[in-house]
Amino acid sequence: MKKVNEKKIASLVKELLVELGEDPERDGLLKTPQRVAKSLAFLTRGYRQTPRQVLNNAVFDAGANHMIVLRGIEVYSLCEHHMLPFYGSCAIGYIAKNKVLGVSKLARIVDVYARRLQIQERLTEQVAAAIQKEAHAEGVGVVFKCRHLCMMMRGVEKQNSEMVTSAMLGSFRTDEKVRSEFLSLIH
Ligand code: ZN
């Protein structure tokens, strides 16, 4: 996949600093354009990854088809409207058909999509769809709870609001009992 051109980004950041009324030649800012370029490359590295890649074959055979839940997965992303962070946590549940994913891989899949410019709703749907596809799951539930800095430090300045989004696929959508088991396990 295409690498980011950090040199180009650094020169754009330097221009941005000038437009904002700063002097990019002053001591404290001399290395800022390169640092921002590196940081942005890291924060958007999901564009250069796929779920298949990060799974790296960590899909295992399993006999029983019961619900697997992982909660408290840390999330850091950037909103696509302001390029400001939103952050919080994610819970994932799924019922696999004879296959389970390595536990740490669930968190890696979240990062493939979180480390891009996002809206929380799409992030939630993409993570659910990826897990359903990679685990051949009969059902998947994903819940994200995040705070958005674009709301907290600008605009409406609502400091304590948390946005909750969920995506339910397969049996998590159609079977009320499955869905309530999942929701009780993550609360
Ligand atoms: Zn925003």
What's the CA-to-centroid distance between 159 and ligand 1, angstroms?
14
The whole-number average pLDDT for the span 84-92 is 97
- β-strand 117-118 against 67-79: which pairing, if any? parallel
- Mean pLDDT, the chain, as a whole number? 93
Average pLDDT over residues 133-137: 90
Closest by CA position to 62, among listed 33, 93, 99 = 99
Ligand 1 centroid – CA 177 distance (Å)? 35
pLDDT digits (tens, 9 = 90+) for 95-112: 988 888 888 899 999 999
Nearest to 127 by CA among 116, 111, 139: 111
**Ion ligand 1 residue ranges (Cβ < 5 Å):** 79, 81-82, 150
**Contact yes or no for 167/142 (Cβ under 8 A):** yes
Expressed in angstroms and rounded, the spacing between residue 150 Cα and the centre of ligand 1 is: 5
What is the reported pLDDT for 121? 98
What are 53-72's pLDDT values in tens digits?
A: 898 877 777 776 789 999 99
Angle, CA 133 vertex, CA 129 and CA 135 arms, to 5°: 115
* Burial tier of 81 (Cβ tally within 10 Å: 0-12, 13-18, 19+): exposed
11-64 residue pLDDT tens: 999 999 999 999 999 999 999 999 999 999 999 999 999 999 898 877 777 776
| C-alpha to C-alpha distance for 47 and 41, rounded to whole angstroms | 10
